[in-house]
Structure 1
């Protein structure tokens, strides 16, 4: 078994395994095993708490999605994705070693 085969096996048996990390979500109308994390702007962009405490009328909620490259595509930044029936804007997206990482946001008031 070469490295690429070993990595694909680990992705299926551990990271995207429903008994380990993944949960079933609907992404763009497709039921997929995804790892979805809620993220704060502070975690994503490195802003300090003082900067974030300034009054704003609109707050953004961020999520990071991890999906297998074989199950999905790398969406364009600025496009809209539907996750579990809710629309989100794509803030970042990239593929690396068989995994697509997508950072999405939605505005909350």
Structure 2
């Protein structure tokens, strides 16, 4: 077994396992085992307070981690649905079989 095989096995059996770290969510119309984190810190090098003041709108950010074999890398600025709610894609990249997507929604 090589490194890629070991990594894929760990991603499926541990990281994206609903009994371990992941939870079931509906992402882009697909029910998937993914990791979703609320971002209370910085996004793109700006702190939450700086973003709120500069935009004069409160934005809620989340980071989604999903296996690259289960999903696609969405375009920045596109709309992505998570659990029935629409969010804007702020960042999206892929590394070592994992897609990381930062999404935002404006709230009042």
Please, what TM-score do these two structures have when normalized by structure 1?
0.89
8 Å Cα contact 2:58/2:106 also seen in 1: yes
- The separation in 2 between residues aligned to 1:72 and 1:55, in whole angstroms, is 33
The answer to whether the aligner puts 1:11 opposite 2:11 as a matched pair is yes
RMSD: 2.0
- The separation in 1 between residues aligned to 2:68 and 2:58, in whole angstroms, is 31
What's 1:69 paired with? 68
Please, what TM-score do these two structures have when normalized by structure 2?
0.90
Aligned length: 108
| Secondary structure of residue in 1 paired with 2:60 | strand
Stretches of 4+ aligned residues off by more than 6 angstroms = none
Q: Which runs of 5+ in 1 are unaligned?
A: none
What's 2:25 paired with? 25
Question: How many Å apart are 1:56 and its aligned residue?
Answer: 6.5
Question: How many Å apart are 1:45 and its aligned residue?
Answer: 3.5
- The separation in 1 between residues aligned to 2:46 and 2:84, in whole angstroms, is 30
Higher-Rg structure is 1
Q: Which runs of 5+ in 2 are unaligned?
A: none
